[in-house]
Structures are given as C-alpha cells and as structure tokens.
Structure 1
C-alpha cells in the first residue's frame, strides 16, 4: 500500500488530490492528512488525520510534521497550499524524506509574487509587470492605465486581491504593507459595476466570472527533466475554476515548459503551475506560478490528463499508476458542489486528541 501524507489536506487542492486517488483506486493508498483546522471535511476522508499547528508557527509545525512522519512513515509528502509548500520545503531540506518540493528558496520565490517577477526577469521569461513602490506603481499606471490589480505579495486563493479602477484607489492600496501592483491584463468582460459611476453602490454579488484564465500544469521529475502535463482555459468564479477546457496552443505550452525548465535548473522538483493571461497580440503572459498541484487538478484529471498518477509514478520508485480515464478526453469539465456529512464526534475527537483515524 502506498502511504501518502497530504499537508493542508483540508484545502481545495487537497480535495482535488483525494478525488484523483479515488479514481486510481482508493484501497491502494493509505492517506495521512495533517491540517490546522479540525472541522474541514477532507480530514475525515483520510485514513488517519492529525491536527497540527498552523504553518505560521514554524517550530510547532515542523515538530508536529516530524512526529507524524516518524510514526506513519509515508512514502511521499505532498503539500497542498502555497504556505505548506514553503514549510515542507524547509522541513525536507534536513529530513531526508521524499516530498514534492525543491529548495526552500525556490518555494519562497514562488509564494512571493514580487520575487517571482524578479526571478522571471533574470531568466528572460515573460511575466506581468509588477511594482511594490509608489513610484514604480504610478509609472505602471501611466503605461497601462486602469483597471489595475493589487495583490498581497504572499497571498493565495485570491484572498486580499483588489481590482483598482481609479488613481485614488491606487494611492490608498499603496499605504497597505506587503502589496504588489500589476496591470489587470485582459480583464474580465463585465467590469461595469466598478468602471461606471458607483455612487449608487455595486451589486451584492459583484465578482465577474473570469472567462479567459489560462493555466499550464507541468512536472519536474526527480532527475530534473521537465514536461507539460496539461494546458487549459478556465472560467474562474471568486478565484476557483468552475469550467475547464484543455488548450493545445503550442505557444501556451511553450511558456509553461520554459518555466518548468528554468525552475528545474534552479533545483525545483515536483508539480509546477503557471497562470497566464493572453494579450490581444496572442502573447501569453504569466502573472503567478506555484510549486504544487492546483485547484483545477481534478477538472483536468476527469478530462483524461491523469496528473496525480503521472506525478506519483515519477516520484515513487517502482510504482506505475495509470488513471483509467487517461486518454478518454471529454470536451469540458465542470465543478459541481457535493454535500457531505460532518459528524460532531469526528471533529471533537480530532480537537481533543489531535488525531482521528478511520479504523482501529
């Protein structure tokens, strides 16, 4: 039985990985989850789950992770959130336990959008123009105009992201610490609630669907070789892919591969995601990258990509996994809500003892 430890198992990425393992044959895996939140539904889809300190408590998290690994002896550690990628990369540097990460400095670079911009420039890779100082942000505004976008340098899941439509908003957001400013490349079609006179307010539910979000999911193997597993165009709603269609444009694939190869050269190993915009001239410009599976992994897997199977086969010696759906491509994958039962006794057990397991 293959023993996998999922750090941040309660996340959307955790959900995607668990779904993919189900399709591969759940009885082939012992899934060990760790999470800092006791009432996440995914905790109880694991064979055993441990409550650990948040990754912000670096010493506490690393101590807890080491204790779980010593007891459960996983074959591979899979981080499921950007913060977990950084924490696991720091831990893996001295643990000797296989994990889907490269060096900690590379993990930090991918989490920090300003560091990503600088790294891409050093490698001659396209990346959205970015600014962190008022002078640079106003120069960016002069070149691109509005709308612009402001993001926490180390944010994830679209939390804290703001669309800017006026210079006064730019000035206000520049007083907030830790923000990076970018032009809003290829903005969603309907930004009228923000662009029109808003004295009468904006709709309560006013996040426009993003119908032109391009992504590439690549893999850097343990030997440093790189490949693109899939490229896609997605409809994003509140930062989550709801509708995905595979995209075979060689130019998009080439951008993803160039990033994966550059990351491999700098020591990264494991999954790589590259998020892009397509400009009017057809150029694909990345605006964020990450070193993990993504929230769209499950959508691409049902279209036949088999990302989880391919990554695990690459990182587990002697293991060859084949997703039965691989190659049976559909046209579009849709995310559908699913109802689950959460039992109070499960949550209270995990909270009280720090551990919950399905059997025994």
Structure 2
C-alpha cells in the first residue's frame, strides 16, 4: 500500500464516528478518513479529511449513491457508524463480491440478528447462551404478554427491537403501565426482565413516580454503573481474536466512564457469543453488552460494529481499529503517538463534554455542495 490507509465511515457524524476519529487522532499522518453523513450541521464532521452528504439510508437512492461514491473515493475500508449501516454494508458486500474485500463484515442474516433484540434473544436460546428473559410483544397475544410479565415481575424494560443508545427504552413498573404501553407502543418493541435491579435503584424509581404528583421533572436519568461489555474482532477465517472486557458507567445512553473488568467468566461468555456468531457467518467487529446476576452474566444486546466506548478501550490497551485493519487488510496503522509513556490498561477513562468548532463557511459549503474537502479549506482549524 502506498500513501495513507483510507477509511470511509458511514454516519460519520454519529457517536461511533466520533469514537473512530478519536481513536485515530494520534496517527492521522498514516490514515485518511472520509465521512458520509445525511446532515451537514455537526462540527465533528469537519475532523474528517473529506465529507460527503448522502440521501437517507432508507431511500431508494442511497445504494446507488453509495456505489458511485465508493467508485469515486476508492476507500480501502468501509465502516458502519450505526446499527442500520451494519446491515446495509453486509447486504452490499453480499450483493457486490468485488466490494466485499473492503467491507469487514459477514453474512447479512447475522447482521440482522444482531440488529434486532428479539432475533438476538432467539439466537441465544437456540445456542444455549444466557440472555435476559425477553418477550417479543408482536409475536404474542396480549394474554400471553400479561402472563409473561406476571411471571417475571415488575419493573420490566420495554425496548425497541432495533433501537440503540437506550433511545425509546421505558421502565414499566405497574400492570396499568403495561396495558397503556401495549395500547400505544407495543409494535416494534420487546419486553425484558430488569436484570441486576438493586434496592437503591428500585427506591429511586418509586420515589420518582411519587414525585410526579408534584409535576414532571424537566430532566430524568437513571445512571447505570454496572454495564458490562465485551469486544472482539472475528477474523476473515472465523477465528475470534483477543477478547477485551470492561465495566462502564452509562449516562443518558452514553458511556462516561470505562475501566477494564478482568473476569474470566465475562471473557468466556463474550468469546462463546462471538464464536456462535462466527459460526453463523459473521465477521469483523463484535460487541456484547451484559448485566451481572446472581446466576452469572447474562447478555441483553449484541452488535456487529464498534461502539461509543471504542476510543476508551484504546486508552485501556485494546486498539480495535488497529486490530481490525491489521486482521482484514494486512496493514499496520501503528500505535497512537499519545500512548507514549501511558501504561496500557492501568487506569480508567472518563468522558466529559468537549468543544468542536466548525466555521460557518464550512457548514454552508457542505450544505450547498454536499461535499467538503479539508485540503481545499486550509483555514479550517
């Protein structure tokens, strides 16, 4: 390979896009980054070398647009920035064998399984893997849903089958809430048992409900201290590489603190899930999210992509972008120069708000031209 390794990121303005940018910030001289995004107004887009505005992924024009863009830009690798991008790229690779070497992914059906929490649960049950007790609302009659809820007990979690980042998730604490939820929001949702419900958390929920008599709070959040996660790269030949496990603090669906969690049981569970997905045809990134219960760890979600903790894991000694590029493309993009003098894995990563600046002229140029090039805008910071 001559020149910089060229990575194209779909949904480049997403949180995952930011994590890829952050992971590569200390080696941009070796990596060229092209972002693809539907909207022009997020400042992090202007950290890419080039940006292209695209039609909505759900539109009939997206696939032709992407094919033409790939032909024009000639990226070495194409990465997803959202769950829907993972499915799109898997389908594109299956339909276009000439492009599949640039897309580190696997079978489209495996991608759809990971993108749908209901299908994920069925997959885990078939493979004998521990997964949060789950009810697929659309596939059951109301009486069956009521019986399942009664057997599990409240509170329950109602989640979009294809949601991400905790968006749209509800906590159901009463039978009347379950009935109202089924009347208004049941389609496209699953119900899950609330795992690892600690007494202090249950009290917090009950106090919040009582406080609603005094008005609706402007903000509400239930900080999650015990989100356990596993990450691995499934190689092109199906082998599962190194597994990295961590414990994260989630605030409003985003990871704000991450630390290594070196538990052989969590590592073994992550590897078992990754190997099961590999046997189903998946390749590339694999992410597992779990809760710890009295019976051990149980998964509640899996993804075939990087995540909102990708850059945190790099600081903690797991450089998944480097591993993915090396394993699929035989290119070593090298270590991040910011790692010099930092003992890997011997600390925690905390994330807080940061400033991203975008010049008005760049925002207007991208919105008008639907294309932005850093080299053509040398005044950009």
| TM-score (normalizing by structure 2) | 0.89
User: Taking structure 1 as reference, are residues 54 and 191 closer, same or farther at Cα in structure 2, changes over 3 Å only?
Assistant: farther
Larger CA deviation: 140-149 vs 28-37: 140-149
Q: What are the within-5 Å matches in structure 2 for residues 281-320 of structure 1?
A: 281=295, 283-319=296-332
Mapped to 2, the partners of 1:228 and 1:286 lie a distance apart of 19
Paired residue secondary structure (1:254) = helix
Check the 8 A contact 2:24/2:336 in 1, yes or no: no
Report the equivalent of 2:379: none
Paired residue secondary structure (1:3) = strand
Paired residue secondary structure (2:93) = helix
User: Taking structure 1 as reference, are residues 308 and 229 closer, same or farther at Cα in structure 2, changes over 3 Å only?
Assistant: farther
Mapped to 2, the partners of 1:112 and 1:171 lie a distance apart of 23
Check the 8 A contact 1:147/1:184 in 2, yes or no: yes
Report the equivalent of 2:289: 275
Report the equivalent of 2:125: 121
Paired residue secondary structure (2:281) = coil
Q: What do you get for the CA RMSD once the two structures are aligned?
A: 1.7
Aligned length: 357
Distance apart, 1:114 and its partner CA: 0.5
Paired residue secondary structure (1:293) = coil
Mapped to 1, the partners of 2:334 and 2:269 lie a distance apart of 28
Report the equivalent of 1:72: 73
Distance apart, 1:138 and its partner CA: 2.0
Distance apart, 1:227 and its partner CA: 2.6
Q: What are the within-5 Å matches in structure 2 for residues 110-259 of structure 1?
A: 110-131=114-135, 132=137, 133=140, 134-175=142-183, 176=185, 177-187=187-197, 189-196=200-207, 197=210, 198-201=212-215, 203-259=217-273
| TM-score (normalizing by structure 1) | 0.94
Mapped to 2, the partners of 1:149 and 1:11 lie a distance apart of 25
Mapped to 2, the partners of 1:250 and 1:136 lie a distance apart of 37
Report the equivalent of 2:52: 50
Check the 8 A contact 1:227/1:260 in 2, yes or no: no
Residues 61-89 of structure 1, C-alpha deviations (whole Å, 9 max, x = no match): 11111111101111110001101111111
Distance apart, 1:269 and its partner CA: 0.7
> Is 1:349 aligned to residue 350 of structure 2?
no
Paired residue secondary structure (2:305) = coil
Check the 8 A contact 1:140/1:183 in 2, yes or no: no
Distance apart, 1:191 and its partner CA: 4.2
Distance apart, 1:21 and its partner CA: 0.9
Report the equivalent of 1:37: 39
Check the 8 A contact 2:8/2:77 in 1, yes or no: yes
Larger CA deviation: 197-206 vs 107-116: 197-206
